Structure 1
Amino acid sequence: MYRFQFSSQTLSWVSLSVCVCVCVERKTLSLSYGSHLRAMADQGISTPSVIGLVTIFCCIYGGQFVNAAGPSTTRYVITNGNVILNPGIPGGVLQEILWKHGVNKAVEWSTDRIQEFRDFKGRTSLNTTTGEITIRQLTMQLSGVYEAECVIGKKIQTFQQRVEVIDPVSQPDGHL
């Protein structure tokens, strides 16, 4: 599943859509996009029509697609350990940030005030310049998807990271 996220990369997506359609036409693309476009072609929708539709869509919305299914990687942290999550979102001065754990607020910063919520009270540090958050003394209950919503230049940019808190593994004693 994909959702639409606004950005200023319209021309890149128009170029990419043209390249994808050309690859499909030449049957050199094996990604799921290619199969969707091939299915459209099988239903009588020509490649130029698809290019036109994608181009119009990208020009109107000026955005990029991001995977809405969540993060593609997982960070593993030992129980009572710490984790540092850095959204690494370029694009200017950070004006506000909201870190969420699942659907619940974890830490929020706006107008020079940092507010921690629920299980995160007293166990986080937030860098208001970079948006980087350090979470200390992690428990199993703090496993899950963390999402940062960063406001930069009146636009919201998001970052997601899955964190799994695990018990430490004991050292083998040499006996099988």
Structure 2
Amino acid sequence: MNMNKKKHTLSPRAQKLRAEWKGMKSDYRFISHSFNCVKIHIHTPDDGMYNRSVGCLKEGREKALKEAVKQRNKVGKELWGNCWNTVLNTPSLFERLPHTLEPDIITKKRTLLSGEVRTTDYYIVRWKELVDGEYKPKSRLFSHGNGNDKLSAYTKAKKVMLEVNKEFIPILKKMGRFNIIKVD
């Protein structure tokens, strides 16, 4: 093993940038910093990520940040169209978006006094609601018993699902998660 290998050292400019970078946080959404570049991370409508970086060794961090913001806005507008302002300005948007606007089916078991176990099927609608500045999970059940009123339970659940997610419908359409079934 050769012990005479020269250790790689950073240039003085890179050392200065690394010192600036320690603990640096970005005030811009979808933008982060590393010691030698400003990074752009944008969620795409197909559940992917758009990643780019703008170097700041030559031009400096301020110019790189301006360029990154410009690129973020241009690419975000191309990807999201008229939904971009909502995507950009709504914190925790992607955590609150439903994967589908279809209610789930769950089965609950209960034991009768006779010891017999019965199961009941329900449609469940889940969403997050702002309570005291925090998003809390909420849910609502719709029983469809032995299958006699399954369609009416589904219709009620679907109406509630659409109502609680009405602000997200344009974004869900853009993402392809919105199936168009009119519920009256």
Normalised TM-score (structure 1): 0.27
Normalized per residue, the structure richer in strand is 1
Choose between structure 1 and 2 for higher RCO, CA contacts under 8 A separated by at least 6 residues.
1
Q: In proportion to residue count, which structure has more helix?
A: 2
| Structure of greater Rg | 2
